[in-house]
């Protein structure tokens, strides 16, 4: 099946008019397994460039991670966002460090990038590949093949709130969920467009029974926009029901659109039913191309396996493929995802999370080799 999905946006890079692209990529390896899986993704992109001279990618590695924070008191330099803005795309590994509070790397690097660059679409494929034995016993490829469009700049992750009476017995945390008409409309419209383009049904997820302001508002906007897409079969689900159906009836879903928090949680569930964290990729898209988009595996820094050469590189390689799709080469996105699938289907070279014994390097090599075979 064609996987030219992340090219729904406008490419940031320049094209030579003959399908060739030239793009500068900021590489943020990050922490833990991040550098290991990013190296794997870069190796596969280099292999693609050797096979197709019209792909011209330049990479600049930026050492902004938790060690940088320890040395400088911040996750990136003060002008970090200005520097990133100069690139055509950002390729991120993972950030997180057991010695730091959870929110430091996330609020110091990832969320500022998503918000400053208006990467309002977080696109996460949930797809059970041929050859992967998923945890849902009865499901086999292509039963699980959905694409989650997560709102990525506001909702519960807008960073608005307060801590009242800190340090007293009356301590009270307020975390405000922000739902703007502009923010909801644009992501919902993106999802409808994608559903139309792919000829697939759309499920919108909210929690309008309990969240009488934000949930009802989200549903109302989805309802309004659905009138512009009479050809797209659409349904509205409560997030709890959506979680249940993802497990009991995964075939039901095509495109899912969800507010930030629900999208985050549902896509980890999605990773769970589609082969695990080692296979789950994501794109943070600025669909209009007014700032760079960012591509990353959805897993974290996995400190328990970091430095051992055993991390599954496939999610990061898949994210690199989505980057090529966004930059204007959906053919290469499809080819790389095809190479991933053929390695998984053969089953001879898999990391431990997929039941094999191979290391990161061997799996990466196998994908690069499969890419050459496919040409």
Q: How many Å is the maximal CA-CA distance in the chain?
A: 66
Contact indicator for 25, 88 with CB cutoff of 8 Å = yes
H helix count then E strand count, the chain: 12, 13
To the query of whether residue 145 is one of the catalytic residues in this protein, the response is no
Interface pick for ligand ATP out of 13, 65, 312, 365 (rule CB under 6 A): 312
Residue 133's contacts (CB-CB under 8 Å, 6 or more residues apart) are 355
> Minimal distance in Å, beta carbon 142 to ligand ATP?
23
> Residue 156 carries which DSSP code?
E
Interaction mask 54-93, ligand ATP, x per CB under 6 A:
----------------------------------------
- H-state helical runs in 235-312: 239-248, 260-273
> Minimal distance in Å, beta carbon 103 to ligand ATP?
11
Interface pick for ligand ATP out of 122, 267, 284, 301 (rule CB under 6 A): 301
Using CB under 6 A as the binding rule, whether residue 353 contacts ligand ATP is answered as yes
Q: φ and ψ at 280, to 5 degrees? A: -95, 115
> Minimal distance in Å, beta carbon 155 to ligand ATP?
19
> Minimal distance in Å, beta carbon 353 to ligand ATP?
4
User: What part of residues 10-39 is at the interface with ligand ATP (CB under 6 A)?
Assistant: 33, 37
Q: Which entry of 12, 88, 118, 264 is annotated as an active-site residue?
A: 264
Interface pick for ligand ATP out of 96, 250, 275, 325 (rule CB under 6 A): 96
Contact indicator for 268, 315 with CB cutoff of 8 Å = no
Using CB under 6 A as the binding rule, whether residue 300 contacts ligand ATP is answered as yes
**Can you say whether residue 333 is alpha, beta or left, with left for phi > 0 and alpha for psi between -120 and 50 degrees?**
alpha
Using CB under 6 A as the binding rule, whether residue 138 contacts ligand ATP is answered as no
Using CB under 6 A as the binding rule, whether residue 94 contacts ligand ATP is answered as yes
Q: Two tokens at 100?
A: 């730091």
Q: Which entry of 87, 157, 179, 190 is annotated as an active-site residue?
A: 157
| Coil/strand/helix, residue 281 | strand
Count other C-beta atoms under 10 Å from residue 313's C-beta.
Answer: 28
Stated as kind and residue range, the H or E segment containing 360 is: helix 360-374
How many residues at the interface with ligand ATP, by CB under 6 A?
Answer: 18
> Minimal distance in Å, beta carbon 109 to ligand ATP?
12
Q: Which entry of 60, 82, 162, 240 is annotated as an active-site residue?
A: 240
Count other C-beta atoms under 10 Å from residue 278's C-beta.
Answer: 25
Give contact residues for ligand ATP (rule: CB under 6 A): 33, 37, 94, 96, 277-278, 299-305, 311-312, 315, 351, 353
């Amino acid at each position: 099946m064609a996987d030219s999905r992340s090219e729904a946006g406008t490419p940031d890079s320049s094209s030579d008019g003959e399908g060739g692209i030239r793009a500068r990529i900021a590489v943020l390896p990050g922490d833990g397994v991040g550098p290991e899986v990013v190296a794997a993704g870069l190796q596969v992109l280099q292999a693609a460039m050797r096979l197709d001279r019209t792909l011209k990618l330049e990479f600049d590695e930026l050492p902004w991670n938790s060690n940088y924070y320890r040395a400088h008191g911040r996750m990136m330099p003060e002008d970090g966002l200005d520097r990133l803005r100069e690139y055509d795309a950002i390729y991120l590994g993972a950030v997180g460090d057991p010695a730091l509070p959870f929110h430091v790397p996330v609020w110091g690097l990832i969320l500022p990038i998503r918000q400053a660059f208006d990467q309002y679409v977080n696109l996460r494929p949930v797809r059970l590949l041929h050859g992967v034995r998923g945890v849902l016993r009865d499901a086999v490829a292509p039963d699980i093949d959905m694409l989650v469009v997560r709102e990525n700049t506001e909702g519960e992750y807008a960073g608005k709130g307060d801590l009242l009476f800190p340090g007293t017995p009356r301590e009270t945390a307020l975390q405000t969920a922000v739902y703007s008409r502009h923010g909801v409309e644009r992501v919902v419209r993106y999802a409808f467009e994608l559903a139309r383009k792919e000829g697939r049904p759309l499920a919108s997820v909210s929690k309008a029974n309990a969240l009488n302001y934000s949930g009802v508002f989200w549903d109302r906007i989805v309802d309004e926009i659905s009138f512009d897409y009479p050809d797209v079969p659409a349904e509205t689900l409560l997030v709890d029901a959506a979680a249940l159906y993802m497990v009991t009836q995964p075939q039901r879903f095509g495109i899912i659109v969800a507010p930030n928090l629900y999208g985050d949680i549902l896509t980890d569930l999605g990773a769970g039913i589609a082969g695990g964290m080692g296979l789950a990729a994501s794109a943070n898209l600025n669909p209009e191309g007014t700032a760079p988009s960012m591509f990353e595996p959805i897993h974290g820094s996995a400190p328990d396996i970091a430095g051992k050469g055993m991390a599954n590189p496939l999610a990061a390689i898949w994210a690199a493929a989505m980057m090529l799709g966004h930059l204007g080469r959906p053919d290469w996105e499809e080819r790389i995802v095809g190479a991933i699938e053929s390695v998984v289907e053969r089953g001879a070279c898999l990391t431990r999370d997929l039941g094999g014994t191979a290391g990161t390097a061997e799996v990466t090599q196998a994908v690069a080799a499969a890419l050459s075979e496919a040409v």
